[in-house]
Amino acid sequence: MASKIGLAVLISGGGSNLQALIDACRDPAYPAEIRLVISNIADAYGVERAKKAGIPALVVSHKDFASREEFEQAMITEMEKYPIDLVCQAGFMRILTPLFVKHWEGRLINIHPSLLPKGKGTHGLKVHTKILGDGETESGCTIHYVTEGVDEGDIILQRSVPVLSDDTPETLAARVLEQEHIAYPEAVKLLATQYLTGK
Ligand code: GAR
Is the CB–ligand 1 distance for residue 41 below 6 Å?
no
Report the nearest atom of ligand 1 relative to the CA of 111: 4
| Banded model confidence at residue 49, pLDDT cuts 50, 70, 90 | very high
pLDDT of residue 184: 98
Residue 100: give its domain's CATH number: 3.40.50.170
Mutation to probe ligand 1, out of 21, 110, 123, 126 (largest number of atoms < 8 A from CB) = 123
Could you tell me if residue 73 is inside a domain?
yes
pLDDT digits (tens, 9 = 90+) for 11-42: 999 999 999 999 999 999 999 999 999 999 99
Q: How far is residue 3's CA from residue 43's CA, in Å, rounded to a whole number?
A: 34
Residue 14 located in a structural domain: yes
For 62-89, what is each residue's pLDDT tens digit? 999 999 999 999 999 999 999 999 999 9
CA angle 138, 142, 168 (to 5 degrees): 40
Residue 13 lies in a domain: yes
Q: Is residue 79 assigned to a domain?
A: yes
**Chain segment 140-170, per-residue pLDDT in tens:** 999 999 999 999 999 999 999 999 999 999 9
Annotated active-site residue 62? The verdict is: no
Domain that holds residue 81: 5-115+141-158+181-197
**HSE-up (13 A, CA, CB side) for residue 81:** 12
Distance CA 16, CA 90 (A): 8
> What average pLDDT does the chain have?
97
- The answer to whether position 175 is within a domain reads no
Asked if residue 127 belongs to a domain, the reply is no
151 in contact with ligand 1, CB cutoff 6 A: no
Please provide the DSSP assignment of 125-143 as one string. Answer: HHHHHHHHHTT-SEEEEEE
* Residue 53: inside a domain: yes
Please check whether residue 150 is in contact with residue 121, taking contact to mean a CB–CB distance below 8 angstroms: yes
Q: Give distance in angstroms: CA of 173 to centre of ligand 1.
A: 9
Query: Does the pLDDT value for residue 199 go beyond 80?
Result: no
Q: Which amino acid is at 154?
A: D
Least Cα distance to 169 among 142, 143, 134 occurs for 134
Average pLDDT over residues 6-15: 98
Residue 107: inside a domain: yes
Distance 198 CA to ligand 1 centre (A): 30
Tally of domains within the chain: 1
Backbone angles phi, psi at 77, to 5 degrees: -60, -45
pTM of the model: 0.97
Give pLDDT, residue 1: 58
Number of Cβ atoms within 10 Å of the Cβ of 177: 17
Q: Are 180 and 111 a contacting pair, CB within 8 Å?
A: yes
